[in-house]
Amino acid sequence: MTNILPVLDRASAGIPASLERLFELVRIKSISTDPAFKADCRKAAEWLVTELRSLGFDATVRDTPGHPMVVAHHDGARADAPHVLFYGHYDVQPVDPLNLWDHDPFEPAVRDAEGGRRIITGRGTSDDKGQLLTFVEACRAYKETAGTLPCRVTILFEGEEESGSPSLKPFLEANAAELKADFALVCDTSMWDADTPAISAGLRGLVGEEIVIKAADRDLHSGYFGGAAANPIHILSDILAGLHDETGRVTLDGFYEGVEETPTQIKAAWEKLGSSAESLLGEVGLSIPSGEKGRSVLELTWARPTAEVNGITGGYTGEGFKTVIAAEASAKVSFRLVGKQDPAKIRDAFRAYVRSKVPADCSVSFHAHGGSPAIQLPYDSALLEKAKSALSDEWPKPAVVIGMGGSIPIVGDFQKMLGMESLLVGFALSDDRIHSPNEKYELRSFEKGIRSWVRILSALAAR
Amino acid sequence: MTNILPVLDRASAGIPASLERLFELVRIKSISTDPAFKADCRKAAEWLVTELRSLGFDATVRDTPGHPMVVAHHDGARADAPHVLFYGHYDVQPVDPLNLWDHDPFEPAVRDAEGGRRIITGRGTSDDKGQLLTFVEACRAYKETAGTLPCRVTILFEGEEESGSPSLKPFLEANAAELKADFALVCDTSMWDADTPAISAGLRGLVGEEIVIKAADRDLHSGYFGGAAANPIHILSDILAGLHDETGRVTLDGFYEGVEETPTQIKAAWEKLGSSAESLLGEVGLSIPSGEKGRSVLELTWARPTAEVNGITGGYTGEGFKTVIAAEASAKVSFRLVGKQDPAKIRDAFRAYVRSKVPADCSVSFHAHGGSPAIQLPYDSALLEKAKSALSDEWPKPAVVIGMGGSIPIVGDFQKMLGMESLLVGFALSDDRIHSPNEKYELRSFEKGIRSWVRILSALAAR
B249 — contact with chain A (CB < 8 Å)? no
| B249 three-class SS | coil
pLDDT of amino acid A408: 80
Give per-residue pLDDT as tens, A128-148.
999 999 999 999 999 999 999
Look up residue B87 and give its DSSP letter: E
- In CATH, the number for domain B5-203+374-461 is 3.40.630.10
Residue A118 to residues A112, A430, A445, A447, Cα–Cα distance (Å): 5, 16, 10, 11
A304 — contact with chain B (CB < 8 Å)? yes
Q: B330: which chain A residues are within 8 Å (Cβ-Cβ)? A: 317
pLDDT of amino acid B272: 81
Between residues 394 and 413 of chain A, which touch chain B (CB distance below 8 Å)?
404-407
Res. A93: pLDDT tops 70: yes
Res. A80: pLDDT tops 60: yes
Comparing alpha-carbon positions, the chain A residue that sits nearest to B362 is: A286
- Cα–Cα distance, A78 to A19 (Å, whole number): 30
B164 — contact with chain A (CB < 8 Å)? no
Query: Best interface-test mutation with A: which of B323, B358, B363, B435 has the largest number of A CBs within 10 A?
Result: B323
Question: What residue spans define the domains of chain A?
Answer: 5-203+375-461, 205-259+305-372
- Cα–Cα distance, A129 to A146 (Å, whole number): 25
A279 — contact with chain B (CB < 8 Å)? no
* Confidence class for position A429, pLDDT limits 50, 70, 90: very high
* Confidence class for position A191, pLDDT limits 50, 70, 90: very high
Whether B313 and A310 lie within 8 Å, measured CB to CB: no
Q: How many angstroms from the chain centroid is the CA of residue A71?
A: 21
Q: B234: which chain A residues are within 8 Å (Cβ-Cβ)? A: 240-241, 243-244, 290, 308-309
- Nearest to A217, CA basis, from A107, A326, A125: A326
- Cα–Cα distance, A91 to A88 (Å, whole number): 9
Lowest mean pLDDT among A217-226, A348-357, B32-41, B308-317: A217-226
- Nearest to B313, CA basis, from A83, A427, A310: A310
- Cα–Cα distance, B291 to B207 (Å, whole number): 18
pLDDT of amino acid A2: 61
A220 — contact with chain B (CB < 8 Å)? yes
Whether A291 and B325 lie within 8 Å, measured CB to CB: no
pLDDT of amino acid A276: 66
* DSSP strand pairing (B205-214 vs B328-337): antiparallel
B293 — contact with chain A (CB < 8 Å)? no
Comparing alpha-carbon positions, the chain B residue that sits nearest to A227 is: B291
Whether A227 and B291 lie within 8 Å, measured CB to CB: yes
Whether A229 and B306 lie within 8 Å, measured CB to CB: no
E-assigned strand segments in B9-99? 58-62, 69-74, 83-89
CATH topology of domain A205-259+305-372: Alpha-Beta Plaits (3.30.70)
Q: A216: which chain B residues are within 8 Å (Cβ-Cβ)? A: 284-286
Amino acid at B201: A
The residue-averaged pLDDT of A396-404 equals 89
How distant is the Cα of A303 from the closest Cα of chain B, in angstroms? Answer: 10
The pLDDT profile of chain B, 463 residues, written as one tens digit per residue, is 568 999 999 999 999 999 999 999 999 999 998 999 999 999 999 999 999 999 999 999 999 999 999 999 999 988 889 999 999 999 998 888 888 899 999 999 999 999 899 999 999 999 999 999 999 999 999 999 999 999 999 999 999 998 889 999 999 999 999 999 999 999 999 998 899 999 998 889 899 999 999 999 988 888 788 899 999 999 999 999 999 999 999 999 999 999 999 889 888 888 888 766 677 888 889 999 998 999 999 899 889 999 999 999 999 998 888 888 999 999 999 999 999 999 999 999 999 999 999 999 999 999 998 888 898 887 778 999 999 999 999 999 999 888 877 778 889 899 989 999 999 999 999 889 888 889 999 999 999 999 999 999 999 998 6
Determine contact, residues A145/A31, Cβ cutoff 8 Å.
no
Determine contact, residues A297/A281, Cβ cutoff 8 Å.
yes
B228 — contact with chain A (CB < 8 Å)? yes
Residue B458 to residues B72, B82, B151, B225, B385, Cα–Cα distance (Å): 20, 11, 8, 74, 13
Determine contact, residues B166/B32, Cβ cutoff 8 Å.
no
| B125 three-class SS | coil
Look up residue A25 and give its DSSP letter: H
Question: Phi/psi at A430 (nearest 5 deg)?
Answer: -65, -20
Whether B223 and A287 lie within 8 Å, measured CB to CB: no
Give per-residue pLDDT as tens, A43-75.
999 999 999 999 999 999 999 999 999 999 999
Whether A227 and B362 lie within 8 Å, measured CB to CB: no
3-state helix, strand, coil in chain B (%, to 5): 35, 25, 40
Residue B406's contacts (CB-CB under 8 Å, 6 or more residues apart) are A221, A223, A224, B203, B204
Question: Phi/psi at A413 (nearest 5 deg)?
Answer: -65, -45
How distant is the Cα of A117 from the closest Cα of chain B, in angstroms? Answer: 26
Task: Please tell me whether the interface predicted TM-score (ipTM) of this complex is above 0.90.
Answer: no
Residues A5-203+375-461, CATH architecture: 3-Layer(aba) Sandwich (3.40)
- Cα–Cα distance, A110 to A125 (Å, whole number): 11
- Nearest to A256, CA basis, from A131, A345, A143: A345
- Could you say which of B305, B312, B406 has the minimum Cβ distance to residue A329? B312
* Confidence class for position A203, pLDDT limits 50, 70, 90: confident
| A384 three-class SS | helix
Q: How many residues does chain B have?
A: 463
Sheet hosting strand B109-112, strand order edge to edge? B109-112, B118-121, B440-442
Convert B379-395 to b/e letters by CB count within 10 Å (16 or more is b).
beeebbebbbebbbbbb
* Percent of chain A with pLDDT strictly greater than 90: 75
Comparing alpha-carbon positions, the chain A residue that sits nearest to B206 is: A223
* Percent of chain A with pLDDT strictly greater than 70: 99
What is the number of CB-based contacts under 8 A between chain A and chain B? 282
- Cα–Cα distance, B146 to B444 (Å, whole number): 24
B308 — contact with chain A (CB < 8 Å)? yes
Q: A285: which chain B residues are within 8 Å (Cβ-Cβ)? A: 216-218, 361
A292 — contact with chain B (CB < 8 Å)? yes
- Could you say which of A228, A321, A336 has the minimum Cβ distance to residue B226? A336
